[in-house]
Structure 1
Amino acid sequence: MAARTAPTLRRLRLGTELRRLRERADLTATEGARLLGISQAQLSNIEASRFGVSPERIRAMALNYRCADERYVEGLIDLAGDRKPGWWGTFQEVLPRPLLDVAELEHYSTALRSANTAHVPGLLQTTDHAREIMRQAVPAFSRSDVEHRVNLRLQRQGLLEGAEPVPYQAIVHEAALRVPVGGRDVAKRQLAHLLDQSEREHITLQVIPFAIGAYPGSGQTLVYAHGVVPQLDTVYLDQSHGPLMVDAEAELDAYRALLARMESVALTPSKSRDFIHTMTTEL
């Protein structure tokens, strides 16, 4: 097996899941390696994503670790697939790795859910809105950096297009909609874009109005990316220093519950569209 110097996000997740699989079987690395007929160093390199791993070896691990969940095992094999980055790889020389990880995560997701308090979700931003957001960064981005980031964001939106778009559910607080990013004209076009997108069958948009008051998850910006099975779901939290990926079982359970609570206090999709339409006429 050849060592890999820059594993993709999916390959890193595979290594993590294989370690978790062994630990759930209550096996040490030494015991797991012995069952597989390899050295402990080899197993450690596999779990650290320094080595690739074949579908046959993943199945052997599942058998030796007493995992009978076939869908989960197939999901692990899927993670072991492509070793090269997708379209986002064209940005690897000009943008930080965490931004490309977000694009990769979204690309392979079976569905997406997001909750936004301060900003319109990136997947639903217009070009002008996105560009103005990038211009407000501290420290300031160069003009070329701004354009690279805007282009990446627009290309990420491609997963909502095509013959088989990814189902997307977005919860947005009224505060994010009230801020006139880029001025009145840009803000009005952004609201109109949200209305257009919300009419699409695979996009669900819900607004949490100020009138709701306090609610669970206020202040957080998060995206929940569904994997092929729930064990392979991932949450990323949008933070000032970059996205933070979360995939531990207990954390995923907590964020599923949080999103369910937020959805329960938000307006229905129909009432949300009426709400945004009223805001548009007020601008």
Structure 2
Amino acid sequence: MPPATTTLRQQRLGSELRKLRERAGLTSTAAAALLGSPQARISNIEAGRYAVSADRVRTLARNYSCGDEAYVDALAGMTGARKRGWWEEYRDILPAGLLDLAELEHHASAMRVAVTVHMPGLLQTPEHARATMREAVPPLRPYEIEHRVSYRVKRQAVLFEGTPTPYTAIVHEAALRMGFGGPAVARAQLHHLVAVSEEPTVTVRVLPFGQTGFPASGQPITCTTGPVPQLDTIVLDTDHGCEFIDADAQLSRYRSVLDRMESRSLSETKSRDLIHHIAMTL
């Protein structure tokens, strides 16, 4: 039976299988015939509504003449019974896109983010997160803010517990000077940013005022790295929620944007020095 809830990860597996079928020039009816299944089975698999085994994925890839073993292995690794992650406790509390984001971060092998106004969510203190959420439009109720703060704090475990996920944050100087929550909260956030930047798997690079050129629109951009480049995902943090992008051309475009922003940023040491300086002026 199709799962009660379809997650972003299940949808991504289905969409990748659809890409393979279309590249092979096969209709869903033809693919079903090769598999010996009803056409509806292929449609449900590609929509992420039907659980599929690793063996079935390998059979489909073989039927679609896909010889990229690393890619097929990565797709096979996305199969199996859906495991309940910690984020599921928020399923009836927060928007589904936020839960998809946590699942995406959980499975990422590395992450890179660029921000211009807000601190990266995974590097925020609870007080800073709470202060920014009070500015939400429409306003969030106090209990809604607390739910989101606790969710954000739990997301941060991917960077600091177990086997930490390598993380690079490109932070514009404007974000360092926004002062959410007042001087005390802002200063504590900057000190926290310096402290976490000294972790071996966390890199913080500051894009300073005065740097010529700005190859981005200003919205937060996150690139989560998959087991193979084809399974990378771009996440755009918009006013209407998270937007997830996995089209090849767009992946290439946003990787280039992040590369250019990082190349124009200060070194890690100079970034820490600037953050220290700004904290001292608050």
TM superposition score category, shorter chain reference: over 0.9
2:79 paired residue number: 80
2:258 paired residue number: 259
Q: Deviations over 1:28-48 (max 9, x none)?
A: 112211211112121111111
- CA distance in structure 2 between the partners assigned to 1:60 and 1:14 by the alignment: 14
Q: Contact conserved, 2:51 with 2:81, CA < 8 A, in 1?
A: no
Q: Deviations over 1:120-174 (max 9, x none)?
A: 1000000100001111111111111000000000000011112410000000100
- CA distance in structure 1 between the partners assigned to 2:38 and 2:81 by the alignment: 26
Amino acid at match of 1:79: M
Q: Contact conserved, 1:169 with 1:204, CA < 8 A, in 2?
A: yes
1:103 paired residue number: 102
- CA distance in structure 1 between the partners assigned to 2:81 and 2:36 by the alignment: 26
1:41 paired residue number: 40
Structure 2 counterpart SS, 1:238: strand
Amino acid at match of 1:145: E
Q: Deviations over 1:74-106 (max 9, x none)?
A: 111111134143000011121111111111110
- CA distance in structure 1 between the partners assigned to 2:49 and 2:196 by the alignment: 41
- CA distance in structure 2 between the partners assigned to 1:203 and 1:25 by the alignment: 41
1:112 paired residue number: 111
176-185 vs 46-55, greater mean Cα deviation:
46-55
Amino acid at match of 1:111: A
Amino acid at match of 2:200: E
Report the CA distance between 1:213 and its aligned residue: 3.7
Query: Residues 56 and 27 (structure 1 numbering): CA distance in 2 closer, same or farther, change over 3 Å?
Result: same
- CA distance in structure 1 between the partners assigned to 2:2 and 2:255 by the alignment: 36
206-215 vs 164-173, greater mean Cα deviation:
206-215
Confirm or deny that 1:272 pairs with 2:271: yes
Q: CA RMSD in A?
A: 1.1
- CA distance in structure 2 between the partners assigned to 1:184 and 1:156 by the alignment: 26
The two structures have a TM-score, normalised by structure 2, of 0.97
Query: Residues 228 and 82 (structure 1 numbering): CA distance in 2 closer, same or farther, change over 3 Å?
Result: farther
Report the CA distance between 1:70 and its aligned residue: 1.4
61-70 vs 165-174, greater mean Cα deviation:
61-70
1:6-155 alignment runs, 5 A limit: 6-155=5-154
Q: Contact conserved, 2:52 with 2:80, CA < 8 A, in 1?
A: no
Which consecutive segments of 4 or more residues in structure 1 shift more than 3 A?
none
Q: Contact conserved, 1:8 with 1:83, CA < 8 A, in 2?
A: no
- CA distance in structure 2 between the partners assigned to 1:225 and 1:82 by the alignment: 23
Q: Which runs of 5+ in 2 are unaligned?
A: none
Q: Contact conserved, 2:122 with 2:152, CA < 8 A, in 1?
A: yes
Report the CA distance between 1:218 and its aligned residue: 4.3
Report the CA distance between 1:220 and its aligned residue: 2.3
1:223 paired residue number: 222
- CA distance in structure 1 between the partners assigned to 2:174 and 2:199 by the alignment: 24
- CA distance in structure 1 between the partners assigned to 2:81 and 2:52 by the alignment: 12
- CA distance in structure 1 between the partners assigned to 2:81 and 2:178 by the alignment: 41
- CA distance in structure 2 between the partners assigned to 1:145 and 1:81 by the alignment: 33
Confirm or deny that 1:192 pairs with 2:179: no
Number of aligned positions between the proteins:
282
Report the CA distance between 1:230 and its aligned residue: 0.6
